[in-house]
Amino acid sequence: MGRARPEGARRPQLTGPRRPAPAWDLVVTVGLLVFGVVNVTQTVARARDLRVLLDTVFAQQGLGPYTNEAVADAAGAIVIAVNVLSLVLAIGFAVPRLRTRRTAFWVPLAAAGVCLVITTAVVLAAAIADPAFAARMTAGSS
């Protein structure tokens, strides 16, 4: 009836030799990792002064000064840790895949996506934690 499967194989396409990654994968992956290094460096520089950044944004929006300094400092430390860890994990998972000629471009993209979501949530939480922001939101809804 059809082709015979090797014993224990559920999907015959997985039993053959593995195809090497496309030629463009190395260039794209390395480019994404280099972009990640630059981006993380810039993010760390901004997150070290997250309090100042939030104060500037609050002033531009007419909310007055950002006053929850402890939360801003903690959020900045979390953002730095998440970004550096994300970059280290992206490099740590992508390089071995490149060495074994397996597709790796998705690794830095996935790391960047997760990092973006976490960073956005942490910075937004720091902004929401300020009493001036909460007051503005409750005043705007009534």
Retrieve residue 71's tokens. 């939360």
| Centroid of chain to Cα 70 | 24
pLDDT the model gives residue 112: 97
pLDDT the model gives residue 18: 76
pLDDT the model gives residue 5: 55
pLDDT the model gives residue 72: 94
Please, what is the end-to-end C-alpha distance for the chain in angstroms? 72
Q: What pLDDT, in 10s, does the model give residues 84-96?
A: 999 999 999 999 9
Question: For the chain, how many helices (H) and strands (E)?
Answer: 5, 0
Element (H, E) at 71: helix 69-99
Domains of the chain, residue spans: 23-136
> pTM of the entire structure?
0.81
pLDDT the model gives residue 1: 52
Extract the residue ranges of the chain whose pLDDT is less than 70.
1-16, 140-142
Element (H, E) at 13: none
